[in-house]
Amino acid sequence: MKPVRWILLLLSLWGFPGPASYGYPPTLLLGVQGGGIWFEPPEDGADALPLAALSLAAGWRNPTPPGGYWELAASARLLSYFGLPLLSADSERLDLQAGLPLGRSLVELGGGLDASAMGDGEDPAHLHPRWQAGLRLGPGDFQGILTYRGSYLYQPDDVEDFLYQGLSLGAEWERSLRLGLSAGLDFGWEYWPDWFLLNGAGASTGVPRQDVLGGLRIGLDGLAGFFLDWSLEASTGLRWSTANRYPSLALGLEEGSENSLYAALRAEADWSPHRSVGLQLGSFLRQEWYLTRAALTAASVDTGETLRVLSLGLTARADWTPNNRLFLVLEGSLGRRFANDPAEERWNASMQAGLEYSF
């Protein structure tokens, strides 16, 4: 895979791929795009907006003897939505990671930051530092992995800040160049300092919300031919929360409003049928079953069912380059959220085209 396309893939992931001896030189990518976004329900009377975007991405991965590595990836994106009034959004991301050999094992240390000063088009302004430390046990094709992860989401204009602390226990098996397998157990705890529990009258108790999370994931990845990289992941899990809510005077206090089970699938593919052409596809499906939260009608009447939500998404990107410097890019996305509560249903779609230049 060309370095430019590798950086674009890297910036789309949470964290970094597993360690390997490969590297790529420092790369800087500047992009300009234009297009539109469509969404439902409408916001401020609009359900479609033209947009323009300016983006910058950089990356560098360097193997270090004997068997270590360090890695840097950064990106920034500025968007303008041409509505009334003109709206702006931004997003910034920084990821750092290093692998340090320790006998027959590898210590991994990493940190990152997601940020937005004006909101990124989906979430309000935020600052989201992340950190992790892990240990890969065993040489060769099979490795056990123990990882600690932490993060803190700060949103100055919202009350949904939270601290996350978690542990993951997993394993990876690179059976061959064409097939790899992975599995893991994830455990986490969240503390929401600004989300207070309510009493029977719907008033704040001043007691912050806390959540416990657990999950299981299984993944496959591989190479088809010499030009198609693919990956599949299935996961399931549970959120158990102290949060409650007071939807209306008639319904009263609802305990355990965020307790839920989920099952999810994710698939990605990167295909380069020609050295000048790159195609990337991504999709996901996530089903959530709330254990006690009531599904309501449009008039906020209890339907007698607990809330169920199905989320689907698809992303696609195509690029063509005559010289591995200048790229012509076309990309789009589609998302749909189904629920048995009309207040939880929505959809959005976007299409953008533009140029990217690799320095």
**Global confidence as pTM:** 0.88
Write down the pLDDT at residue 17. Answer: 47
Which among 90, 60, 1, 112 has a CA at the least distance from the CA of 359? 60
- pLDDT interval class at 52 (50, 70, 90): very high
Total domains in the chain come to 1
Residue type, 335: G
Mean pLDDT over 17-25 rounds to 60
Q: What tokens does 334 get?
A: 């589609």
pLDDT at residue 14 in the model: 39
For residue 344, the domain's CATH number is 2.40.160
Task: Kindly write down the DSSP assignment for every residue of 1-56, as one continuous string.
Answer: --HHHHHHHHHTSSS-PPP-S--EEEEEEEEEEEEEEEEEEEETTEEEEEEEEEEE
Confidence category of residue 66, pLDDT binned at 50, 70, 90: confident
* Residue 6: per-residue pLDDT: 47
Token pair of 286, please? Answer: 């996530």
184-214 tens-digit pLDDT:
999 999 999 999 999 999 999 999 999 999 9
Question: 5-9, 98-102, 264-268: which range is least confident on average?
Answer: 5-9
Higher pLDDT, 182 or 23: 182
**Containing structural domain, residue 106:** 3-358
Does the structure show a pLDDT above 50 at 302? Answer: yes
What's the pLDDT tens digit per position in 96-142? 999 999 888 999 999 999 999 999 888 899 999 999 999 999 877 89
| Token output for 310 | 């199905």
Lowest mean pLDDT segment, chosen from 140-149, 185-194, 313-322? 140-149
Nearest to 200 by CA among 235, 237, 251, 125: 251
Report the alpha-carbon angle 159-333-313, nearest 5: 70
Task: Supply the mean pLDDT for the chain.
Answer: 91
